[in-house]
Amino acid sequence: MSLELEWMPIEDLKLPSNVIEIIKKRGIKKLNPPQTEAVKKGLLEGNRLLLTSPTGSGKTLIAEMGIISFLLKNGGKAIYVTPLRALTNEKYLTFKDWELIGFKVAMTSGDYDTDDAWLKNYDIIITTYEKLDSLWRHRPEWLNEVNYFVLDELHYLNDPERGPVVESVTIRAKRRNLLALSATISNYKQIAKWLGAEPVATNWRPVPLIEGVIYPERKKKEYNVIFKDNTTKKVHGDDAIIAYTLDSLSKNGQVLVFRNSRKMAESTALKIANYMNFVSLDENALSEILKQLDDIEEGGSDEKELLKSLISKGVAYHHAGLSKALRDLIEEGFRQRKIKVIVATPTLAAGVNLPARTVIIGDIYRFNKKIAGYYDEIPIMEYKQMSGRAGRPGFDQIGESIVVVRDKEDVDRVFKKYVLSDVEPIESKLGSERAFYTFLLGILSAEGNLSEKQLENFAYESLLAKQLVDVYFDRAIRWLLEHSFIKEEGNTFALTNFGKRVADLYINPFTADIIRKGLEGHKASCELAYLHLLAFTPDGPLVSVGRNEEEELIELLEDLDCELLIEEPYEEDEYSLYINALKVALIMKDWMDEVDEDTILSKYNIGSGDLRNMVETMDWLTYSAYHLSRELKLNEHADKLRILNLRVRDGIKEELLELVQISGVGRKRARLLYNNGIKELGDVVMNPDKVKNLLGQKLGEKVVQEAARLLNRFH
DNA sequence: GGCGCTGCAATATAGACAGCATGTC
DNA sequence: CTATATTGCAGCGCC
């Protein structure tokens, strides 16, 4: 894993001068060692490479050079795949530079989508693994022109949930040409072999990292830090995290603290904020952030109040309970060095680039949801992702990352396990029924009819051991046939119409089966029953149910005035899913009935980000259920589901459906208009002054124009 | 009886991808 | 087999 530290001057690149100009414009004069190494290994000649190196070591530029040189030489299109929407967005902005020399760049993902047909006009497409998988299933013509794939953050192969999709995308990408990028992994040679690529492994980082462990000294209020290079340091205070945070702040460094639960992230942030009077802050800049925070509509008022009091002291917390808008604001404030400390859950470990001089990893344990009372030590990969955030290029000479342990006895073990070890090897995650069945369905959808042998060969191209493939393959075929997702046509397997629909909707086959059974066995039912059915599927949103809450839900179950579409399960785990689904259904019902957001958040004890995610998932599932019911000719259900889908999406009663078509008009504004007698598009156009009065001059103007445009389109 | 305190017991616990219609990235 | 901060609640003394 060593390599000479060679820096190649940009001018030495065998690339056209206009390409070199663009790189130079970014202020880059020399390629850093990993970049140099990649070029020496034939990156520009289109050689297949697997590049493993720490985050922030300049992999994006390697991908850019790979793509551009490939496209210049071979024409066609290239696709850059990432595991996160936020990364897709980030890379899109970077790749935009290449439009200057004529390459058209687009991005497409679940939340920011370019129509499939339009993508044919672009040369470089940035997307997520799931979206690419989905695109392949839809088989657009232009996808055949794509001959170069960049697979970013390929270590997501190891993610139990997402890994199978990464793996199936990789199988098809490696039939063409690819460049794979990954965080450092231990079995990179094996993975490179699988990819048919040459490994390029480096540990080089733009800012050196020093890792350490902090533990309490016998003497109270004193903490000792031991670093990898055997240097030590002492800090004082009531709490290791706070003591070290303040120490770093006193030297003008920013701090990123990781905690293992949301509540701890919040309370740690609050504690740190109490000491911030000793830190010099840019008050004006902070009040600017507070002003922006006030303008964010997406967010609960409790969250916003708490964040405001923290941010005014230069501190913030960050976890997925917060809406995207709030998280973006916090990240940006930190990037601009106005916010000095962020206390986060693992949201910030992976994903967008947000380095800090000091990283404090507060917990190496994490509660295990599956086995009650059981605790896991976090994976080494996750530790490395967190510690790797230490050291910000341009601001810090060195990054420091420390792990908090309980006492001196733990120091050695933690040092050995986390600081000095290789990360876990990457293994196939296709070895589960859910993953494997979905995998086969996806292949048939993308490839069309295949013989058993052909289909099997696809599976053998995976990372899964052959014996396991054999086990799962037969079971999968049998199940898919029995449940009529696939059928036999001559010597081949083909998708049924139902199976094709399921593949296109991108829902899990088990989800589809549950929906089908639920709908076929019942007459049209109440909204709550549909929501409950969908929330109960494996694709349904997760939500935590408290103990008291569970009792209330069970009670409510007894005097429900509508019949649910799922039979009450006897098995304990299934039953708790059943109750969880009921909670999701109730939340969605309140949302659709226009219950105020703050009320929903406190009533169900969730954050604005949770609500958003839930709505997004249920929007997708109600849409899917609508289409499945059409496919199955269950028209009564279909009628109900169509309305349900529209109401879930916007969180509105049926009467507002027309008004929310206007962009810029959501549940709140539509209700305001409606209650003032503006009930349909025509009313908006006929009463422009009233609309402007209600919504404000500028917005009102836009809304009236938009309504007129919509009306015209209908006639 | 009501209030506040103490100390032990119970409780809770991370994250994030996907469809499609919009206009067009 | 392993954690820990927060919340809930019984029991108590005190006014």
Helix H, strand E, coil C: the string for A239-294 is CHHHHHHHHHHHCCCCEEEECCCHHHHHHHHHHHHCCHHHCCCCHHHHHHHHHHHH
| Tokens read off for A692 | 């402007």
CATH superfamily of A658-712: 5' to 3' exonuclease, C-terminal subdomain (1.10.150.20)
Residue carrying structure tokens 């109750």: A579
A35 annotated ligand binder? yes
A53 annotated ligand binder? yes
Buried b (16+ CB within 10 A) or exposed e, A439-464: bbbbbbbbeebbeeeebbebbebbbb
The pLDDT tens digits for A545-556 are 998 899 999 999
**Nearest nucleotide (CA of A501 to C1'):** B19
CB A525 under 7 Å to nucleic chain B? no
* CA-closest candidate to residue A81, choices A46, A109, A120, A47: A109
**How many C-beta atoms surround the C-beta of residue A104 within 10 A?**
13
Query: How far is the C-alpha of A221 from the C-alpha of A275, rounded, in Å?
Result: 16
In this structure, are residues A311 and A333 in contact, taking their beta carbons and an 8 Å threshold?
Answer: yes
Helices vs strands, H then E, count in chain A: 29, 22
Measured from Cα to the C1' atom, the residue closest to B25 is: A106
Do domains A10-201 and A209-419 share one topology? The answer is yes
**Nearest nucleotide (CA of A622 to C1'):** B19
pLDDT value, residue A670: 95
Query: How far is the C-alpha of A353 from the C-alpha of A86, rounded, in Å?
Result: 10
Query: How far is the C-alpha of A179 from the C-alpha of A197, rounded, in Å?
Result: 8
Q: For residue A439, give every residue at least 6 positions away whose Cβ sits within 8 Å of its Cβ, in sequence order, or none.
A: A164, A167, A168, A430, A459, A462
For strand C, the positions having any atom within 7 A of a protein Cβ are 2-6
In this structure, are residues A417 and A380 in contact, taking their beta carbons and an 8 Å threshold?
Answer: yes
Which chain A residues 211-250 have CB under 7 A to strand B? none
What average pLDDT score do residues A376-388 get? Answer: 94
Which chain A residues 534-593 have CB under 7 A to strand B? 539, 542, 544, 546-549
Write down the pTM of the prediction: 0.95
CATH superfamily of A10-201: P-loop containing nucleotide triphosphate hydrolases (3.40.50.300)
Does residue A372 register a pLDDT over 80? Answer: no
The pLDDT tens digits for A620-671 are 999 999 999 999 999 999 999 999 999 999 999 999 999 999 988 999 999 9
Does the domain made of A509-651 have the CATH classification 1.10.3380.30?
Answer: yes
**Nearest nucleotide (CA of A374 to C1'):** C2
Please name the residue ranges forming H helices in A1-148.
Answer: 17-25, 33-40, 59-74, 85-95, 129-138
**How many C-beta atoms surround the C-beta of residue A122 within 10 A?**
19
A60 annotated ligand binder? yes
pLDDT value, residue A369: 76
What average pLDDT score do residues A381-398 get? Answer: 95
Does residue A405 register a pLDDT over 50? Answer: yes
**Nearest nucleotide (CA of A548 to C1'):** B11
Query: How far is the C-alpha of A704 from the C-alpha of A697, rounded, in Å?
Result: 11
**Nearest nucleotide (CA of A85 to C1'):** B17
A215/B25 CA-to-C1' distance in Å: 50
Strand pairing report for A486-489 and A105-108: unpaired
Buried b (16+ CB within 10 A) or exposed e, A269-298: bbbbbebbeebebeeeebeebbeebeebee
A367/B13 CA-to-C1' distance in Å: 6
* CA-closest candidate to residue A139, choices A510, A445, A500: A445
Which chain A residues 437-456 have CB under 7 A to strand B? none
**Structural domain spans, chain A:** 10-201, 209-419, 433-505, 509-651, 658-712
Q: Please give the single-letter amino acid code of residue A644.
A: L
> Starting from the edge strand earliest in sequence, which strands make up the sheet with A232-236, in order?
A232-236, A222-227, A209-216, A399-404, A358-361, A255-258, A341-344, A315-318
What average pLDDT score do residues A562-574 get? Answer: 91
What average pLDDT score do residues A593-611 get? Answer: 94
What average pLDDT score do residues A321-328 get? Answer: 95
Query: How far is the C-alpha of A23 from the C-alpha of A29, rounded, in Å?
Result: 8
Output DSSP code: residue A379. Answer: P
pLDDT value, residue A3: 52
CATH of A433-505, one of 3.90.228.20, 1.10.3720.10, 1.10.10.10, 3.10.20.90: 1.10.10.10
Which chain A residues 251-310 have CB under 7 A to strand B? 260-263
For strand B, the positions having any atom within 7 A of a protein Cβ are 10-25
In this structure, are residues A448 and A492 in contact, taking their beta carbons and an 8 Å threshold?
Answer: no
CATH of A209-419, one of 3.40.50.10470, 3.40.50.300, 3.90.850.10, 3.30.230.10: 3.40.50.300
CB A30 under 7 Å to nucleic chain B? no
**Nearest nucleotide (CA of A609 to C1'):** B16
A373 annotated ligand binder? no
Q: Please give the single-letter amino acid code of residue A670.
A: A
Does residue A2 register a pLDDT over 70? Answer: no
pLDDT value, residue A715: 63
The pLDDT tens digits for A257-315 are 999 999 999 999 999 999 998 888 899 999 999 999 999 988 899 999 999 999 999 99
Radius of gyration in angstroms for the set of CA atoms belonging to chain A, rounded to a whole number: 27
A261/B14 CA-to-C1' distance in Å: 7
